[in-house]
Structures are given as C-alpha cells and as structure tokens.
Homo-oligomer: A and B are copies of this chain.
Amino acid sequence: MDIVMDAQALNAFLARDFPQVADACSIQAVLPDRLVARWRVDDRHLRPGGTVGGPSIFALADVAIYCAILSRIGPVALAVTTNASVDFMRKPAAGRDLLAECRILKLGRSLAVAEALVFSDGMADPVARCSMTYSIPPKTPQNSAL
C-alpha cells in the first residue's frame, strides 16, 4: 500500500492535533516496510534509577503505530487503539532517547494490526515489544482531520 503521509506530514499532524505528544515524540522516517519514531527522554519520564518507565514506552509505541497506520490511510483522527500487548524485556539505558521501529501486519477495512520494537538509542537489544490493534472508522468528512 502506498505511503500517503511522510514523516514531515505526520509531524505536522501531531503538532496540530496532539501537541502534548508532539512535545516528546517525532517521526524520524517512513520507509516502505516500517516507520521509525523517536521519544525524547526528559526528567518527566524518568523512574527511580534514571530509566524510562513503562507508560512512556507504551505512549511511544502507541504514537508510532498510530502514525504507521496514518502513513497508509491518511489523517483519520478517530482511529482508536482497541487492544495492546506489551512485553517489557530490558531496562532502558539511562539518558538515552527511545526509538520505536514499527511494522504493519494487517491493514483491513475496519481493523489494523501492527507491532513495534522499542530500543534505547544506540543499543542492539530491544527494550520492549508491543503489538496493537486499531479500529478504523469509515472515512467521512466528519472524522477526517484534514
């Protein structure tokens, strides 16, 4: 399926519709088979010990997968997560941003399934694995964000 929103278009969409998220998260690349997103780690996301907590990892995966779907279907603001499964496998490295690599496994008319691996920037072993299902509403003028 063609790419209909690139990284620049997705970041503009996040900045306008999800300003709290856009503050921390940016889309780095939209490639034919995956999307890469970055989470800028700052003090708000840190847990005791200086590492990033589970909710930040979840938030990054959620945005990355949402944008991966939008990159194929355009800015449907009302797509919603219906299911998420996360395995937290390693402690994130202190003081490093998080990167999510996201891949779409199914893009149906009403349901999309995608997965993301989350890494500490510069590290080879994933911090977390996440899969999510999104429910996609029928595209109408009302739910198009354009």
- Give A contacts to B, CB under 8 Å: 17-18, 20, 44, 47-48, 53-55, 58-59, 62, 77, 80-91, 105-106, 110-111, 113, 115, 117, 125-126, 129, 131, 133, 135
- Chain B neighbourhood of A133, CB < 8 A: 82-83, 87, 133
Q: How many copies does the complex hold?
A: 4
A106 engages B81 (CB within 8 Å): no
A48 contact from B17, B58, B126, Cβ within 8 A? B17
19 more A-B contacts (CB under 8 A) besides A83-B85, A84-B86?
Answer: A17-B48, A54-B58, A54-B81, A55-B62, A58-B58, A58-B59, A80-B91, A82-B87, A82-B88, A83-B86, A83-B88, A84-B85, A84-B88, A87-B113, A87-B133, A105-B129, A106-B126, A113-B129, A115-B115
